[in-house]
């Protein structure tokens, strides 16, 4: 690239200098744009923009293979122009560039928080959702309410008639290879909230020297060879208000964080259940909620739209809303469904070994309310839960269809 100095001398510019000049021109363009759109008087805007455009022109003309020469000329030019800047110009420029700097700095902070501390990132997105919302709740009342929700109820005959299905894979052995587990670990979110062990997926991924021991222990747990300690089955349940200014415990939404090691084991089992369910049509075709490679809400919306169009957009829609759906699942009925589903027996045995050990530590804000056994319902923070819920609803879905 060739340019001219203020003296008219023809000078060349290498790639590095060209990048610097282009960057300077881009900054000038940004400042001109910011000043032209700032709420100042018209004549001051015109004078300031004229000054900045002159600076852009000098950036275009002062180029040299010797950075010191063109930089010195540029500085001398700027010093001369300082005397001509209108009275309100420099505060305006300072404010503009400060805002650009603060914006860029905050952008970097947000990126780091999203990668390393997502809890802080999401909390800052909604700064108004603080602990003031949960000030009106009574701790003992909340503990009793949720203890009763997950308390075992007397067995009742639901009359759904779970039919025995035969798939031929009931006696299959678990096929959980090192490669299978490794592929699941690769796609785990690094900083997903952990449970009581405080071990993030990031460390499970990066401590690969321990993987061969971890893989073997996962297989031992699935096969029933090892029985983990109580912490493995214990989640931390955060009670989040559904709406502001609520004081009734039923207006709290439980969000459970299970240990990441527990979630890795159940994820292995869930992947196997999903494959068997798709291969042997264990779930009715009308249930799209947990179907692999399928977005249930999107598919349902498209179906509803098409059917409604066929009938001239005159149809009405009705739906069933299951109150406290996950919390109302009977463990006995779940075991009955699993035993008659046609799934391999090892899956049923695994579920029957972990479900009776479920318990959660309830937290309301920063306060620990106590520990509750899950004798009824399924966990909110487990990848297995949606699949189990769909299996439990399958007999009803088949009756309705």
- Residue by residue, what is the 3-state secondary structure of the chain? CEEECCCCCEEECCHHHHHHHHHHHHHHHHHHHHHHCCCCCHHHHHHHHHHHHHHHHHHHHCCCCCHHHHHHHHHHHHHHHHCCCCCCHHHHHHHHHHHHHHHHHHHHHHHHHHHHCHHHHHHHHCCCCCHHHHCCCCHHHHHHHHHHHCCCCCCCCCCCCCCCCCCCCCCCCCCCCHHHHHHHHHCCCCCCCCCCCCCCHHHHHHCHHHHHHHHHHHHHHHHCCCCCCHHHHEEEEEEEECCCCCCCHHHEEEEEECCHHHHHHHHHHHHHHHHHHHHCCCCCCCCCCCCCCCCHHHHHHHHHHHHHHHCCCCCCCCCCCCCCCHHHCCHHHHHHHHHHCCCCHHHHHHHHHHHHHCEEEEEECCEEEEEEECCCCCCCCCCHHHHHHHHHHHHHHHHHC
In a domain, 82, yes or no: no
Q: Do 92 and 156 fall into the same domain?
A: no
- Give yes or no: residues 106 and 155 share one domain: no
307, part of any domain: yes
- Are the C-beta atoms of 22 and 43 separated by less than 8 Å? no
92, part of any domain: yes
Residues 112 and 162 placed together within one structural domain of the fold: no
Question: What does the pLDDT read at residue 328?
Answer: 84
Q: How far is CA 265 from CA 14, 185, 200, 303, 378, in A?
A: 58, 10, 14, 36, 16
On whether the CB atoms of residues 359 and 372 are closer than 8 A, the answer is yes
* Residue of 341, 342, 391, 344 lying closest to 167 (CA atoms): 342
Asked, for residue 97, whether it belongs to a domain, the answer is yes
The pLDDT value recorded for residue 55 is 57
pLDDT of residue 79: 57
How far from chain centre, in Å, is Cα 110?
15
In a domain, 392, yes or no: yes
Residue 25 belongs to some domain of the structure:
no
Is residue 384 in some structural domain?
yes
Which of 76, 103, 127 is a domain's end point?
127
250 in a structural domain:
yes
341 in the same domain as 195: yes
pLDDT tens string, the chain, 401 residues long: the values are 444 344 444 344 455 555 555 555 555 455 544 544 444 443 444 555 555 555 555 555 554 445 555 556 655 655 565 555 555 555 665 666 667 667 778 888 888 888 777 777 877 776 665 544 565 678 888 889 999 989 887 766 555 568 888 899 999 999 999 999 999 999 998 888 899 989 999 999 999 999 999 999 999 999 999 999 999 999 999 988 887 777 788 888 888 999 999 999 999 999 999 999 989 988 887 777 767 777 777 777 888 888 889 999 888 877 777 777 888 889 999 999 999 999 999 999 999 999 999 999 999 888 899 999 999 999 887 889 999 998 988 888 887 77
pLDDT of 10 reads 39
176 shares its domain with 275? yes
pLDDT value of position 30: 52
Specify whether 275 is located in the same domain as 392: yes
pLDDT (0 to 100) of residue 352: 95
Between CA 317 and CA 325, with CA 321 as vertex, the angle to 5 degrees is 155
Q: CA of 190: how far to CAs of 208, 256, 263, 385, in Å?
A: 14, 18, 13, 21
User: What pLDDT was estimated at residue 174?
Assistant: 92
Same domain, 306 and 374: yes
* Pair 197, 234: CB distance under 8 Å: no
Same domain for 96 and 243, yes or no, is no
Full-model pTM: 0.66
Domain that holds residue 120: 88-127
Same structural domain, 118 and 222: no
Question: How many domains would you assign to the chain?
Answer: 2
**209 and 301: one domain?**
yes
- Domain check: are 93 and 154 in the same one? no
Same domain, 118 and 153: no
Residue where a domain stops, chosen among 106, 127, 148: 127
Q: Look at residue 56 in the predicted model and tell me its pLDDT.
A: 54
């Amino acid at each position: 690239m060739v340019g001219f100095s203020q003296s008219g001398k023809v000078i060349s510019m290498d790639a590095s200098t060209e990048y610097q000049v282009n960057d300077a021109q881009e900054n000038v363009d940004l400042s001109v744009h910011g000043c032209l759109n700032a709420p100042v008087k018209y004549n001051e805007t015109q004078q300031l923009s004229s000054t900045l455009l002159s600076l852009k022109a000098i950036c275009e003309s002062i180029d040299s293979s010797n950075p010191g020469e063109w930089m010195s000329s540029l500085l001398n030019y700027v010093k001369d122009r300082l005397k001509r800047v209108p009275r309100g110009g420099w505060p305006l420029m300072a404010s503009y560039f400060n805002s650009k700097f603060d914006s860029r700095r905050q952008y970097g902070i947000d990126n780091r928080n999203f990668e390393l501390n997502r809890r802080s990132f999401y909390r800052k997105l909604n700064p108004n959702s603080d602990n003031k919302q949960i000030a009106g709740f009574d701790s003992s009342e909340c503990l009793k309410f949720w203890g009763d929700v997950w308390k075992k109820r007397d067995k009742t005959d639901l009359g759904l008639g779970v039919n025995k299905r035969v798939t031929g894979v009931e006696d299959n052995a678990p096929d959980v290879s090192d490669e299978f587990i490794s592929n699941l670990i690769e796609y785990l979110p690094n900083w997903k909230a952990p449970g009581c062990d405080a071990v993030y997926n990031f460390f499970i991924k990066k401590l690969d020297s321990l993987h061969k021991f971890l893989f073997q222990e996962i297989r031992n747990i699935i096969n029933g060879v090892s029985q983990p300690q109580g912490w493995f089955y214990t989640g931390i349940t955060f009670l989040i208000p559904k709406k502001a200014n609520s004081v009734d415990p039923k207006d709290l939404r439980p969000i459970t964080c299970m240990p990441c090691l527990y979630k890795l084991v159940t994820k292995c089992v869930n992947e196997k259940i999903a494959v068997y369910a798709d291969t042997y049509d264990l779930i009715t075709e009308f249930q799209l909620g947990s179907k692999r490679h399928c977005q249930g809400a999107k598919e349902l919306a498209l179906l509803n739209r098409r059917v409604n169009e066929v009938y001239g957009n005159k149809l009405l829609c009705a739906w069933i809303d299951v109150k406290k759906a996950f919390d109302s699942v009977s463990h006995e009925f779940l075991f009955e469904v699993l035993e008659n589903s046609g799934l391999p027996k090892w899956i049923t045995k695994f579920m029957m070994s972990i479900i009776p050990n479920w318990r959660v530590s309830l937290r309301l804000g920063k306060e620990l309310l106590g520990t509750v056994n899950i004798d009824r319902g399924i966990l909110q923070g487990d990848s297995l839960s949606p699949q189990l819920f769909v299996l439990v609803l399958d007999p009803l879905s088949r009756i309705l269809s």
